[in-house]
Structure 1
């Protein structure tokens, strides 16, 4: 998937947790082999080429494409699973794979799990007694600085995803034009229960721009967000303050 994954796992029976961690890492490698658009032999590349059908792919391919279709419907087309006319579920695969990896560790009995995939984080439980998970949100206009710190205090699971142009340039596509999104935003951070959706919503909202993106994010249940414009204006959803700390 072209990014780095990190794990912070607390509690649980050591042998069971170690086995689950090994299984999670192995699963991430499989996801890369199946879904990488940079590998001409991956199932998603061969599906795009017309060499394979969805039914001939692993069941996870159909699952991811269904999630993409749901994201496209809920975002009124601002999230898209196609690029240059070919199937490309990249916008949801990373978050989906992070969430799956975290769940493997939770199911193995870990009391606290944080999985970070390229800056998109899924958290479960707590890292210690009376200590919530906390995630720093990088300031896209001030390298090395923080725009906010998100806290998972009071909830059993929380996800934080950021999409923007500060680190990777203009890589987000406007589905209406098929070209790089022209927007007043430099970053959108979405906070919600599941990283699968937080990642997709951050991408869609970035393509929308600050005004439409903020209004749409406000309409989504259990979602809060922080948007930063190229003019250094910070906009956020009404309940975001409750998740900072």
Structure 2
């Protein structure tokens, strides 16, 4: 089974290679992602995030899901020394850097909870897989038609933060300026929650972010700095 929809501003592709796919499962996966977009997008005026940011609801009134997301935002803010921050000065609350990986990981858990064994869920290039091996290409940060390396995963996730899709959209919360020092950073981790958020935090930290994310339990990293030097951990699952 293979299905693609545009959700949260990017294409989401779901592939299930099991012989029997539970009826309605793909519908449930994409319904969950659309629901997350409605509730947590800072670009939708009636979302829970926007209402919290305007003070219409308090922290004690938010849903359990949003409370979990905000806790993750604070965890990574502290862990990165403030480089990763969902509340940048002069901007509204924006937890998108956590929401994407967290929500897609939850979607993957819907699959495994329904008994699916072999699947690949790709959300705008950030991928969570089960029942591999699966081969995942890491895009070259400067040449869209080339890959830097190919990874092989059985169960786990891989996410990349870079300049090539949205320009200087990642800000170093310590300075309020666009992050510098890296062209791209790819993180392999047990969950997409960790891989995606850690990749964003590492990119925000700049060159020092490579060692930071490499030191996190369960994380492997492949990074290209502004000098075009490749930095990678020994345990990176290269195909």
Query: Which residue number in structure 1 is paired with residue 165 of structure 2?
Result: 167
Structure 1 position 38 matched with structure 2 position 35: no
Alignment partner of 1:221 is 2:217: yes
Secondary structure of residue in 1 paired with 2:108: helix
Moved more, 78-87 or 55-64: 78-87
CA distance in structure 2 between the partners assigned to 1:54 and 1:12 by the alignment: 45
Distance 1:234 1:135 in 2: 18
CA distance in 1, matches of 2:113, 2:18: 12
Partner residue in 2 for 1:9? 16
Structure 1 outlier segments of 4+, above 6 Å = none
Gap runs ≥5 in structure 1? 127-131
**Does structure 2 conserve the Cα–Cα contact (< 8 Å) formed by 1:141 and 1:232?**
no
Shift of 1:230: 2.7
Does residue 121 of structure 2 align to residue 125 of structure 1?
no
Give aligned pairs, total.
231
TM-score (norm 2): 0.91
1:192-222 Cα distance to aligned partner (Å, 9 max, x none)? 1111011111111112222x11221221111
Shift of 1:164: 0.8
Greater per-residue helix proportion: 1
Query: Offset of 1:178 from its aligned partner?
Result: 2.2
Distance 2:206 2:177 in 1: 15
Partner of 2:10: helix, strand, or coil? coil
Residue 234 of structure 2 is aligned to residue 230 of structure 1:
no
Aligned counterpart in structure 2 of residue 158 of structure 1, from 156, 159, 167: 156
Matched, 1:109 2:90: no
1:42-191 counterparts in 2 under 5 A? 42-83=47-88, 84-126=90-132, 132-153=133-154, 157-181=155-179, 183-191=180-188
Q: Which residue of 2 aligns with 1:129?
A: none
Q: Secondary structure at the match of 2:158?
A: strand
